[in-house]
Chains A and B, each alone.
Chain A
Amino acid sequence: MAAYRFVPAVLALIAIVSYPYPFGILFAAISALFIPPLALLYGVLFDVLYFVPGASAAPLGTVLGLIGWGMAVVVHDFVKTRIIGG
């Protein structure tokens, strides 16, 4: 697996703990395009670090992470098919 795929993953990790959350979401979304399950991982990380009961009806990070994973798989497979199939 090429090393460049891990660059957005590392940036997402840094952004989640140090920068306003839209940056974390952006980098998590980009990294999920290369490694789809990372969407769930970063969603859970958001919740583990910042969620408290009462903040919202459901832990949105985890929910959005699951949705993001699904979407990333679709995009990932589509892109792969296009590249391999021509």
Chain B
Amino acid sequence: MKMPFSRTRRSQTALLKRGSALTIGIVLGIVALLFMLRTVFPGVLTTLAAPLWSAGNALTGGAGDFASVFGDKAKLAQERDMLAKENASLREQNAALTARAADLTRLLGGRPEAANSILAGVMVRPPVSPYDTFVLDAGASAGVRAGASVEGAGGIPLGTIESVAENSSRALLYSAPGRVTQGWVGENRAPISLEGAGAGAFRTSVPRENAVAVGEVVYVAGPGALPIGTVVRVETDPSSPRAVVHIKPLAHLFSTTWVTVSE
């Protein structure tokens, strides 16, 4: 029997409405499940996502290696020679500074207790993470605690641990947009408030008479003053008594693979 057109259309509309309600119900159910997992079992989602994060990291590394095939060989060799020279020069400088630090420690006395550090792999970093956070593969079982500081290669301060699961943890970087950290700039250590600008960068404002120059090193408090970045641009406005200072991080967050976590 042939169904009238209006009746067919009505039944199709009812079906569509039922389908939409079902889709919304399923999606809201998954949203509720995600919230519950994050609250009750914070490590479960990290464990589930870990293989995908590893695959993503491998894929990015592989793409970089593949792209290097097309690079100019002569230019690469020249760059390698230049880096080798720079490395040798830095090694000498490092040896001199180490000797000087040892002399000063002998003269002034060192810290009696050694700082305990935990080595952690970075599973996710910006720009995959939109909040300037790291997801680390070490958690409470490895001794990571909330509030511990996270440092990159060479002891460069990167951020602090904000949440810890059994086998993973999340670190909020000092450069997270809006995060304010106290620090100093330049040889005379002029105090500044560093404001995170995202993707590892910072900005601050200083009185114009402070005369901050491009290339000056910016420090944050740690054991002493730890270098965190360098001044790359100073913006002055004749109508404003303050200058805006833009700071580039010393550590390259996008390619950080290992960090140390210390109390």
Residues of B within 8 A of A1 (CB): 19
Considering only CB atoms, which chain A residue lies closest to B178 in the complex? A56
Would you call B129 and A50 a contact (CB within 8 A)?
yes
Considering only CB atoms, which chain A residue lies closest to B176 in the complex? A55
A40 beta carbon closer than 8 Å to chain B:
yes
Interface size on B, residues (CB 8 A): 37
**Bound: A50/B128 CA distance, A:** 9
Residues of A within 8 A of B224 (CB): none
B141 beta carbon closer than 8 Å to chain A:
no
Would you call A18 and B128 a contact (CB within 8 A)?
yes
B-contacting residues, A40-68, CB 8 Å: 40-41, 44-46, 48-57, 60-61
Would you call A18 and B27 a contact (CB within 8 A)?
no
- Please tell me which one of the listed residues B30, B38, B59, B163 contacts residue A18 in the complex, with CB atoms under 8 A apart: B59
Would you call A55 and B132 a contact (CB within 8 A)?
yes
Give the secondary structure class of A's interface.
helix
Would you call B56 and A19 a contact (CB within 8 A)?
yes
Residues of A within 8 A of B52 (CB): 14, 17-18
- Please tell me which one of the listed residues A19, A40, A49, A60 contacts residue B27 in the complex, with CB atoms under 8 A apart: A40
Would you call B124 and A50 a contact (CB within 8 A)?
yes
- Please tell me which one of the listed residues B45, B127, B178, B179 contacts residue A21 in the complex, with CB atoms under 8 A apart: B127
- Please tell me which one of the listed residues B31, B127, B131 contacts residue A51 in the complex, with CB atoms under 8 A apart: B131
Residues of B within 8 A of A61 (CB): 130
**Bound: A53/B179 CA distance, A:** 11
Residues of B within 8 A of A14 (CB): 52
Would you call A54 and B176 a contact (CB within 8 A)?
yes
Q: A52-B133, A55-B162 are in contact. List 5 more A-B contacts (CB 8 A).
A: A18-B52, A48-B38, A50-B124, A50-B170, A51-B133
B84 beta carbon closer than 8 Å to chain A:
no
